[in-house]
Amino acid sequence: MDETKGKVEGENNTDGEIDSLKLENDTLRCELKAASDKITGLEKSLVEKDVEIASARQSLEESTARLEEMKTSLDGAAVAYKELAAQANPGPVAGMIEGVTIEEIKESVENARALVEKVKQAIGVENSLIRVPAGAPQRTAPDLSTLSPREKIKYGMESG
């Protein structure tokens, strides 16, 4: 009976182990299924992100190209503005206009005008201090009364 009892007990242990392993196997299959579903979800998310990245890169390239066009256009506008500023401000101001941006050109024009105005004021002050007659005095006949007869003859021969 011990043998029978031992076999029965051994069989029960084996059946219990099999049931335990089956339960563990089912649990692992559920975990594997969950992990597989999660991987699939992550792969889909990764594909979506790749599409978003590609779209963002394309948008960046388009924006960069547009920016370059705008820079070229702005440079052309600045050159045209500089030419117009030179035409509108002839003389020394036109020669003093500098800069590559519209703001720099505008500031340069203002500085040049201010400098020209200061020079004009300085010249005006200097001119007011120096008085020069408007023209030569009227011509009058020389006073011959103070000349000797010889000087009078010489003067008469020279003036002709």
pLDDT of 53-92, one tens digit each? Answer: 999 999 999 999 999 999 999 999 999 999 999 999 888 8
The Cα 160–Cα 155 span in angstroms is 8
State whether the Cα torsion 73-78-84-88 is positive or negative: positive
Quick check: is 143 in a domain?
A: no
Quick check: is 57 in a domain?
A: yes
Quick check: is 135 in a domain?
A: no
Quick check: is 142 in a domain?
A: no
Distance between first and last Cα of the chain: 179
User: How many independent structural domains does the chain possess?
Assistant: 1
Full domain range(s) for residue 33? 9-128
The Cα 148–Cα 154 span in angstroms is 10
Quick check: is 158 in a domain?
A: no
Quick check: is 31 in a domain?
A: yes
Per residue of the chain (160 residues), give pLDDT as tens: 444 444 445 556 788 899 999 999 999 999 999 999 999 999 999 999 999 999 999 999 999 999 999 999 999 999 999 999 999 988 888 888 899 999 999 999 999 999 999 998 988 888 777 776 677 777 777 788 888 999 888 988 887 6
Distances (CA, A) of 42 to 37, 39, 46, 47: 9, 5, 6, 9
Quick check: is 98 in a domain?
A: yes
Quick check: is 55 in a domain?
A: yes
